[in-house]
Amino acid sequence: MPKNAAKESVMDGSTSFTPYKEKKGEEYMNEQQRDHFKSILMNWKRELMEEVDRTMSHMKDEAANFPDPADRASQEEEFSLELRTRDRERKLIKKIDKTIELIEQDDYGYCETCGVEIGIRRLEARPTATLCVDCKTLAEIKEKQIGG
């Protein structure tokens, strides 16, 4: 099987990586695993930053004062959607930076609520996860009960 065939996507479908192959008896969150996740996060951040640059260029190039009010409204709506997306990505970049700090402090990969290992596969699916599956499930149940 070609090496590229083992690549998978993270979250948005654009960031690919080769899944980490755990070795028998390997310590959880050892240096190789931390490097693996730091690489995933850095690549994801780079792609998000490139998208920000593309948006800025697009908005500068496409900005026009259309005489037709419907055309102006369409352009404003398009820009509004792009800006909302970029704002979500800006928040995600902050979360990625915080996660990279956790890796550098050797605090990455453990649930911030109960302290258990989050798990390699869960972290590959959501590299910024801070809760194990059980704590995340409980948090979502509580949120549904409060939010009704």
Q: Is 15 annotated as a binding residue?
A: no
Given the DSSP bridges, would you call strands 8-10 and 15-17 parallel, antiparallel or unpaired?
antiparallel
Q: Is 135 annotated as a binding residue?
A: yes
E strands, the chain, in order: 8-10, 15-17
Distance CA 89, CA 45 (A): 9
What 3-state class would DSSP assign to 78?
helix
DSSP sequence for 108-138: TTB-TTT--B--HHHHHH-TT--S-HHHHHH
Q: Is 114 annotated as a binding residue?
A: yes
Binding-site sequence positions for Zn(2+): 111, 114, 132, 135
Binding-site sequence positions: 111, 114, 132, 135
